[in-house]
Amino acid sequence: MERRDLLKMIAAATGLAFVGGEAWAAGVKTTSASKALFGAGDIMLLDEIAETILPRTETPGAKDAACGAQMAVMVQDCYDAKQQALFVAGLAALQASCKQQYQRDFLQLTAAERTALLTQLDKDASARNAAIASNDSTNVSNRKGDASIEPHYFTLLKQLSIFVFFTSKVGATEVLRYVAVPGRYDGAMPYKKGDKAWAT
């Protein structure tokens, strides 16, 4: 398939095209590049959120791939002002949910509590994105979503975690399979369930 069509079909495991790629907020001005959005504490929080979404199992997890720091870079440089505001407000909302439900910060939750919280947020986000998708035609180029509806902030967190993890060296070479110079092509290579996917 042609590259340009492929890119449009990328759904990033969230039912919504990659935020920060094409604009659901096209034309919105970016913030000043000099204003740092995230500090060390935020990066720790992002690391733990990403780790909850993509935990270490028999293979490395999000923290092993230093996802938090890279997520911060992506939001800082590749999101427009509206997207950044949604993301930053989302982190605050996530912490507020923690406080309300557990009377603690996210970082102080047990792994089970983190999973429970993010699972609920994921459900909320899926419902929101389904509403966005239903406003679409079947036209694939519109899968970037209805520009008038803001996605749920958790969609941004999940998309970024997945993207940053599987495009990291750790994710690509230790979690997925990677061969830099294949040298040949086999269009019918045997595969058995459990074999890893190619990173590139």
Partner 1 sequence: MTTAQNHYDAIVVGSGISGGWAAKELTEKGLKVLLLERGRNIEHIKDYTNAMKEAWDYPHRDRPTEQMKQDYPVLKRDYPLNESTFGMWANEKDSPYTEKKRFDWYRGYHMGGRSLLWGRQSYRFNERDFTANLEEGVAVDWPIRYADLAPWYDYVERFAGISGNRDGLDVLPDGQYLPAFELNIVEKDVAARIKKAFGGSRQLICGRTANITQPKPEQNRVNCQYRAKCWLGCPFGAYFSTQSSTLPVAMKTGNLTVRPFSIVTQVLYDKDKKRARGVEVLDSETNQTVEFTSKIIFLNASAFNSTWILMNSATDVWEGGLGSSSNALGRNVMDHHLGVGAYGEVEGYLDKYHFGRRPTGFYVPRFRNWGGDKRDYLRGFGYQGSASRENWRRDVAELAIGADLKAALTEPGHWTIGMGGFGEMLPHHDNRIFLDPKVKDKWGLPVLAMDVEMKANELRMRKDMMQDAVEFFEAAGVKNVHGYNGDYAPGMGIHEMGTARMGRDPKTSVLNANNQVWDAPNVFVTDGACMTSASCVNPSLTYMALTARAANFAVEALKKGEL
The torsion defined by the Cα of 43, 48, 50 and 53, in degrees rounded to 10, comes to -170
Nearest to 67 by CA among 198, 200, 175: 175
Size of the site for partner 1 (CB under 8 A): 77
Task: Please report whether residue 35 would count as binding partner 1 according to CB under 8 A.
Answer: no
Give the C-alpha separation, 71 to 81, whole Å: 16
Among positions 63-92, residues that touch partner 1 (CB under 8 A) are 70, 73-74, 77-80
Nearest residue (CB) to partner 1, 42 versus 158: 158
CB of 96 to partner 1, least distance (A): 19
Among positions 129-148, residues that touch partner 1 (CB under 8 A) are 138-142
Task: Please report whether residue 190 would count as binding partner 1 according to CB under 8 A.
Answer: yes
Give the C-alpha separation, 142 to 9, whole Å: 10
Phi, psi of 177, deg, nearest 5? -105, 140
Q: Binding residue for partner 1 (CB under 8 A) from 39, 41, 59, 110? A: 59
Task: Please report whether residue 101 would count as binding partner 1 according to CB under 8 A.
Answer: no
Phi, psi of 79, deg, nearest 5? -95, 145
Q: Binding residue for partner 1 (CB under 8 A) from 36, 100, 148, 185? A: 185
